[in-house]
Amino acid sequence: MAARTMDAIQMLTSDHKEVKGLFKEFESKGDRAQKAKATLYGDIRAALEMHTMIEEEIFYPGIRQIAEELVAEAFEEHLQVKRLLEELSGIDPSDERFEAKMTVLMENVEHHVEEEEKEMFPMVKKSMEKAMLDDLGRQMMERRQALEEPSQRKAS
């Protein structure tokens, strides 16, 4: 499976693409597509929560010495995203505030992704050996699989 051979940065970049795709799909839904938007919000929240957890538990600690200031900022940005996700979970998709908060969420995530991909990731690639990036990627994949197992058991 190709996913097993991804280094940490490749894995996180793949997650970023997935979330951007979900955002585009959300934006393409019309004003009356509340049910579809609610479902997409659930998908977006699940993807962001998984990604955030893996970054905070494995990636950021692994690169902290290389990009200490960027890691500190990333943790703060994660707190904002978590707060927005929590606020969104209490708002009905038919409420006009839902759309407004989703826009703020998307803008926050897009800013965060841009900083990681244009500043943090190049700094890490330049400073960290490929073997270490591969090892971080392996740890992150194992953590993702462990987090996904309980939800897969519930689904079956």
**The domain that contains 64 carries what CATH number?**
1.20.120.520
Segments forming the whole domain that contains residue 107: 2-150
* Residue 156 belongs to a domain: no
Cα separations in angstroms, 62 against 9, 76, 115 = 12, 18, 18
The verdict on residue 49 lying in a domain is: yes
Instruction: Give CA–CA dist 90/72, Å, rounded.
Output: 28
Is residue 109 situated within a structural domain? Answer: yes
pTM: 0.89
- Would you put residue 47 in left (φ > 0), alpha (ψ -120 to 50) or beta? alpha
According to the model, what pLDDT value does residue 1 have? 40
> Is residue 155 in a domain?
no
Q: What is the pLDDT of residues 4-60, one digit of tens each?
A: 568 999 999 999 999 999 999 999 988 778 889 999 999 999 999 999 999 999 999
Please give, one letter per residue, the 3-state secondary structure of 105-154. HHHHHHHHHHHHHHHHHHHHHHHCCHHHHHHHHHHHHHHHHHHHHHHHHH
Number of domains in the chain: 1
